């Protein structure tokens, strides 16, 4: 099988695509025609084996995750997914791998009506680079720079479970029950991009970011771009660990509370949304989140004093031990 057979067998599909896609794969360029009054939101993510994913991950999960991390960026801007390109570097043609990868990829793409409109395929170390294109009404995109003093801080879904899975894989956490591991692994390998929530937050949230490198670090980007500081209640944050069970509760309530809190605050790979909104918007926000069936939790507030302060349930300062992920840190 050659390059072009591979592309047409696994990545080119004859299916109806969104009206904005004028020309899909097969020509020198794809053509997009955004609807009048809309802006294109564009984001790229590169995934390298051994750095962004373990070689043990199933090809289907990898296909899902490769697109999910990109859709998560569109969600953070409040954009609706339209299309994506796929640049793939493969060590060899492995049809079982390609079949699984494309199945996972297209299952998520179809869920979001996001069409594969082109790409590039070469031989090399396994790496996957996806660029997504989304649409957002002009000047309605959610940005990192809009947080205001007094705003509430929220997080969608749950945090920390992807990191827990990684620690179990690494062998640093050994006593996790099977069902906790399964839940955590699912969160690591098959994250849910909060696409509907992102769009529902337009006009309500003042700023947003997706949590990929850890809550504290990513929230730090909002603080920096908005020129503000924040306080986070660690008691509320701990409730965000989804794999909560007798086991994690013991871990977080017992003498060693730090690992679970670190996973929540700095774990990374969560692909949830962190965002801010004024207290006057609380009811509208909760209604919007409920309408898209997504849990959101208020975990703190924005203040003028720069920096990120952690406090426990009684308002006492909590020291922060871990930094967020930085490839060159």
Q: What are phi and psi of 154, to 5 degrees?
A: -125, 160
CB of residue 8 vs ligand ADP: minimum separation in angstroms? 8
Q: Which of 5, 120, 179, 305 touches Mg ion (CB under 5 A)? A: 120
Q: Pattern 13-42, binding to ligand ADP, x per CB under 6 A?
A: ------------xxxx--------------
Q: Nearest 5°: phi and psi at 118?
A: 160, 180
Per-residue contact track with ligand ADP, 76 to 95, x per CB under 6 A?
----------x-x-------
φ and ψ at 84, to 5 degrees?
-150, 160
User: Cβ closer to ligand ADP: 10 or 263?
Assistant: 10
What single DSSP character describes residue 49? Answer: B
> Measured between alpha carbons, how far is 192 from 197 in angstroms, rounded to an integer?
11
Q: Which is nearer to Mg ion, 7 or 205 (CB)?
A: 7
Q: Are 212 and 268 in contact (CB under 8 A)?
A: yes
CB of 272 to ligand ADP, least distance (A): 28
Burial of 282 (0-12, 13-18, 19+ CB in 10 A): middle
C-alpha to C-alpha distance for 268 and 322, rounded to whole angstroms: 12
* Residue 71: CB minimum distance to Mg ion, A: 24
From 118-126, 198-206, 231-239, 261-269, span contacting Mg ion (CB under 5 A): 118-126
* Contact positions vs ligand ADP (CB under 6 A): 7, 11, 25-28, 86, 88, 116, 118-121
* Contact positions vs Mg ion (CB under 5 A): 120
């Amino acid at each position: 099988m050659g390059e072009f057979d591979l592309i047409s067998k696994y990545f080119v599909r004859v299916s109806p695509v969104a009206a904005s896609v004028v020309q899909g794969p097969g020509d020198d360029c794809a053509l997009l025609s955004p609807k009048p009054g809309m802006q294109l939101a564009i984001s790229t993510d590169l995934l390298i084996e051994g750095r962004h994913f373990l070689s043990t991950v199933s090809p289907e999960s990898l296909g899902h995750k490769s697109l999910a991390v990109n859709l998560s960026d569109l969600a953070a801007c409040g954009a609706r997914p339209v299309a994506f390109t796929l640049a793939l570097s493969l060590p060899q043609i492995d049809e079982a791998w390609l079949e699984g990868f494309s199945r996972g990829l297209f299952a998520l793409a179809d869920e979001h009506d996001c069409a594969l409109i082109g790409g590039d395929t070469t031989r090399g170390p396994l790496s996957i680079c996806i660029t997504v294109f989304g649409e957002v009404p002009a000047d309605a995109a959610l940005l990192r720079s809009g947080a205001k003093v007094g705003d509430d801080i929220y997080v969608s879904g749950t945090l920390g479970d992807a990191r827990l899975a990684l620690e179990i894989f690494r062998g640093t956490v050994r006593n996790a029950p099977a069902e906790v591991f399964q839940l955590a692994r699912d969160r690591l390998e098959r994250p849910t991009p909060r696409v509907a929530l992102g769009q529902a937050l337009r006009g309500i949230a003042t700023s947003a970011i997706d949590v990929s490198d850890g809550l504290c670090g990513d929230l730090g980007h909002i603080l920096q771009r908005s020129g503000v500081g924040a306080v986070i209640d660690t008691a509320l944050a701990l409730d965000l660990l989804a794999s909560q069970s007798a086991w994690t509760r013991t871990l977080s309530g017992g003498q060693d509370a730090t690992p679970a809190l670190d996973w929540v605050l700095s774990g990374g790979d969560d692909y949830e949304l962190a965002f801010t909104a004024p207290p006057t918007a609380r009811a509208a926000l909760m209604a919007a989140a409920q309408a898209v069936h997504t849990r959101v939790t208020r975990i703190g507030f924005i203040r003028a004093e720069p920096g990120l302060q952690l406090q426990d349930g009684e308002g006492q300062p909590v020291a922060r031990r871990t930094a967020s992920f930085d490839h060159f840190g």
